[in-house]
Amino acid sequence: MLYNQTLEKLNALRLHGMVQALEEQRRQSDIAQLDFETRLGLLIERQWVWKENRGLEGRLKYAKFKLSASLEDINYRHPRGLKRAQIEQLRASQWIEHGRNCIITGATGCGKTYLACALGHQGCRDGHRTLYYYAPKLFRALSIAQADGSLLSLYKKLGRASLLIIDDLGIASVSGKQYRDLLEIIDDRHGQGSTLITSQFPVKQWHELIGDATVADAIVDRLVHNAYRIDLTGKTMRALQNSGKSHDSEPSDE
């Protein structure tokens, strides 16, 4: 009876990991050989792991990544100019803690989206709230929010993310008004959070892409000066995969 009451109280306290561990201990015939402190430590450890896993699950669901990706599956053998040292600089997610940015450029199919999602997944594992947006969908969301009066709420959501990923900037034609909206988002995040941008266009072409020199100057200034740069080159991963020359588990993007 006391055991059932203990389970009820643990569940009421939302200590579900501890409940699972306690029930497992009850089924182990040799558990009595462990002293009280050891058994208690095992219960607390299970609760800690359960809470961490639940938190990660929630962050991944919130981020809405396009791809399930990991840094461990990145292929450095592909001749696209990607260096392991570049990714190792970003692996610990200290760049997110320090509010630095990352810009990944390269042709369609060279793995930009995969790299972005892998870095985002790592950020989630390290406890950072992350948001992923395919650039055209972000601009559509901004237009809809402008129309229905929820723009301020969307700005707040974007501003709260420790890492905001905008994938494939420049893939679709965007009005000057929408680039000004993007500038406001980036300006709000400047010094407060990290932004990761992927684009087929090198940074030197962004002024032409954006059209408005003043807006372009402001966007580039806020993004680039403290950003890690990954400029991918060479044949696309898709081309090598289609030719049978690539044996990488990492899928091509776009």
pLDDT digits (tens, 9 = 90+) for 146-205: 999 999 999 999 999 999 999 999 988 888 888 999 999 999 888 889 999 999 999 999
Pairing of strands 101-105, 163-167: unpaired
State pTM to two decimals. Answer: 0.81
What the block records as the tokens of 105 is 């450029």
pLDDT recorded at residue 247: 44
- Do 80 and 240 form a contact (C-beta atoms < 8 A)? no
For tokens 């793995």, the residue is 111
**Separation of alpha carbons 251 and 254, rounded Å:** 10
Average pLDDT score, the chain? 87
pLDDT recorded at residue 31: 80
pLDDT recorded at residue 94: 93
Amino acid identity at 164 = L
What the block records as the tokens of 24 is 């497992």
What the block records as the tokens of 112 is 């930009």
pLDDT recorded at residue 116: 97
Residues in the chain: 254
Put residue 227 in one of left, alpha, beta given phi > 0 → left and psi -120 to 50 → alpha: beta
Query: Chunked in runs of 10, what are the mean pLDDT values of the chain (254 residues)?
Result: 78 81 81 81 82 88 95 88 91 93 93 96 96 96 93 93 96 86 91 94 92 92 92 68 51 57
**Separation of alpha carbons 133 and 131, rounded Å:** 7
Q: Measure Cα distances from 155 to 64, 134, 150, 212 in Å.
A: 17, 16, 9, 22
- Do 105 and 198 form a contact (C-beta atoms < 8 A)? yes
Domains defined for the chain, CATH in brackets: 2-61 (no CATH), 64-243 (3.40.50.300)
At 254 the three-state DSSP class reads coil
Query: How many CB atoms sit inside 10 A of residue 23's CB?
Result: 11
Kindly report, residue by residue over 3-17, the tens digit of the pLDDT: 788 888 778 878 888
pLDDT recorded at residue 45: 86
